[in-house]
Amino acid sequence: MSTPTLESLISAALDGRLDELSRTQLNQQLRESAEARATWHRLCRVHATMHRMGEAGDLRDRAPAEEAPTPRACSQKPRRWAGLAACAASVLIGLGVRSLFFSNPRSAPTVATLTTQQAIWEGLAPADGPLATHRSYMLRSGFASLHFSSGVEVTLEAPCRFAISGPLEMSVDHGRAAVRVPEPVDEFTVHTPGGDFVDLGTEFGIAVGSDGRSPVVLTDVYEGEIEIRHAAEALRLRAGNSRALLGKGANATCVEALDTEPISLADLHRRLPDQQRPALNDDNIALGKPVFAPSYLTRPHGSVFPPDNLTDGRADDSGVPGDWSFWLAPDHQAGEFTVDLLENHSVSRIELQNTRNRSIGDRGMKRFRILVSLDNHDFTPVMEGELAAIDLQQRTFPSETFTFPSVAARYVKIEGVDHYRSADRPMDDPHQGGGLNEIRIFAH
């Protein structure tokens, strides 16, 4: 019997078809020849990479979206390899539900590594380290950083719902993300409910929200170029430009401004913050308590700023359309609101964090009065104060503390006396007024 060629022995080994005789022969050839070992390593590299791509679903056509047609763009590379792959899949025995819908981090290659900062999760809570693909995660508070095997880095701000599906793609269903794509990676795709945002190199921000019925996705290109792909069209956007993608499917449109406001995500965290935030809410008796106000600012496309935002524990003008962290009074009003602590407390200290209305800088509370009540009918003035304006350069906003002699209260009212304005607009410009990020109340 002739000795099998190295070619046939390596094939058998890679395809799991070695018998004992051919195993012995393969070992002998590898033992005796450095060239044979080099051939083995060379083909193992292809074998390993093909296996990883197959397990990651990278060799299939992507499954179509449930409602909208799959977004297309001029630069999208066709993947029409279904052919024999589909036939082979149909004759396979014992193929269960695998990599497209579930991936166990212990049996799949690492697609991305997770690092968190003060993270609180809702539902599934992943540990720092390799992150499972095709699972939806909800970051309720804090920050998370994803380092993909492709070299791409993504920084996420809570609240954020996301999933990763491959080295070059992920989905963000809600929340804020900053994406950095290094050379020589060609494309990294972020799927959102409105459409796909493809980074062609190198860095952009995204805020995925809603107007209550349809997606509203904001994007701001910091460096390089991206492409926005939705059913109607594909749009390229270069550094210094921003857009809002409104709606989804065939009805989606891209606009340069939302109502009267320019679109800017300059305040997005593009890296994990250098310092952890101090714990501010340990003794805060206002956290999560109901707040009511005579009125608040509402505009189309998710520009709504209800008073409940004042006790949600979120700060620094963060958030996305339909889910901002701050309250804004209607135009031309300093505004007022009342916190219901739900039971009587002995209150002696209040902290307030002002707003500047994101990067717009046209709102915020200036002078104010604090009043308290036990019955929401008769209010007693406690003190007056003044808040500083939030500078447009600040990333983390300060909180200011106001203390007074301890007083019994269930209802705490803040009445704005006057408000800050944009330095670039005339005094009588209608689009400015009061507002506040957060109120914290502390008992005696």
Partner 1 sequence: MKKHPDNANEALVDHLTRQQSSLFHYILSLVPDPVSAQDILQETNLVLWRKAAEYDSALPFMPWACRIALYQVKAHRRDQARDLHVFDDDVLDQLAAEPPEAHIGRPLEQGLRDCLERLPGKQRELIIARYQPGASVESLALASKLSPNALSQALFRIRSALADCLERQQQTS
**54 or 300, CB closer to partner 1?**
54
> Closer to partner 1 at the Cβ: 2 or 107?
107
Q: How many CB atoms lie within 10 A of CB 106?
A: 7
- Contacts by 231-235 with C-beta closer than 8 Å and gap 24+? 231/68, 231/69, 231/71, 231/195, 234/71, 234/72, 234/73, 234/74, 234/75
CB under 8 A: which stretch of 94-102, 219-227, 307-315, 346-354 binds partner 1? 94-102
Q: Is 124 in the site for partner 1 (CB under 8 A)?
A: no
- Please classify residue 405 by burial: count the beta carbons closer than 10 Å to its beta carbon, then call 0-12 exposed, 13-18 middle and 19+ buried: exposed
User: Quick one: 89 or 255, whose CB is closer to partner 1?
Assistant: 89
Helix (H) or strand (E) holding 53: helix 34-55
Cross-strand pairs, 228:
197, 235
Contact range with partner 1 by CB under 8 A, out of 107-115, 207-215, 295-303, 317-325:
107-115
* Binding status of residue 83 toward partner 1 by CB under 8 A: yes
d(C-alpha 415, C-alpha 367), whole Å? 9
CB of 26 to partner 1, least distance (A): 8
| Residue 364 · residue 374 · CB < 8 Å | no
- Compute φ and ψ for 35, nearest 5 degrees: -65, -40
Structure tokens, 225: 């170029």
Place of tokens 């082979």: 88
Residue 373 sits in the site that holds partner 1 (CB under 8 A):
no
Closer residue to partner 1 (CB): 108 or 246: 108
Least CB distance from residue 179 to partner 1, whole Å? 15
Distance of CA 204 to the CA centre of its chain: 12
- The binder of partner 1 chosen from 149, 348, 359, 422 (CB under 8 A): 149
Minimum CB separation of residue 7 from partner 1 in Å reads: 5
332 binds partner 1 (CB under 8 A): no
For residue 285, the minimal CB distance to partner 1 (Å) is 27
According to the binding rule CB under 8 A, does residue 141 interact with partner 1?
no
Does position 167 interact with partner 1 (CB under 8 A)? The reply is: yes
Q: What are the backbone angles phi and psi of residue 47, rounded to the nearest 5°?
A: -60, -45
Helix axes 6-14, 34-55, angle to 10 degrees: 30
Residue 437 backbone phi and psi in degrees, to 5 = -80, -50
Contact assessment for residue 375 and residue 409, using Cβ atoms and an 8 Å cutoff: no
Residue 244 exposure: Cα atoms within 13 Å on the Cβ side: 24
Residues 220-279 that bind partner 1 (CB under 8 A): 272, 274, 276
359 lies in the site for partner 1, by CB under 8 A: no
Spatial CA neighbour of 274 closest among 122, 359, 155, 125 = 155
53 or 73: CB nearest partner 1: 53
- Which of 2, 64, 67, 84 touches partner 1 (CB under 8 A)? 84
Is residue 91 involved in binding partner 1 (CB under 8 A)?
Answer: yes
Is residue 53 within the footprint of partner 1 (CB under 8 A)? yes
Stretch that binds partner 1, among 18-26, 214-222, 311-319, 343-351 (CB under 8 A): 18-26
For 442, the token pair is: 């502390």
Provide the angle, in degrees to the nearest 10, between the axes of the packed helices 34-55 and 20-32: 120
Q: Does 190 bind partner 1 (CB under 8 A)?
A: no
Task: Check residue 76 for interaction with partner 1 (CB under 8 A).
Answer: no
CA distances from 134 to 129, 137, 178 (A): 16, 10, 20
Choose the stretch contacting partner 1; rule: CB under 8 A; options: 26-34, 310-318, 324-332, 353-361.
26-34
108 in contact with partner 1 (CB under 8 A): yes
From CA 144, how far away is CA 134, in angstroms rounded? 17
Contacting range for partner 1; rule: CB under 8 A; set: 182-190, 212-220, 223-231, 373-381: 182-190
130 interacts with partner 1 by CB under 8 A:
yes
Among 62, 76, 110, 233, the residue binding partner 1 under the rule CB under 8 A is 110
| 15 belongs to the binding site for partner 1 (CB under 8 A) | yes
In the list 30, 232, 383, 443, the residue contacting partner 1 (rule: CB under 8 A) is: 30
Is residue 1 at the binding interface for partner 1, with CB under 8 A as the rule?
no
Binder among 113, 214, 264, 422 for partner 1 (CB under 8 A): 113
The count of residues interacting with partner 1 (CB under 8 A) is: 83
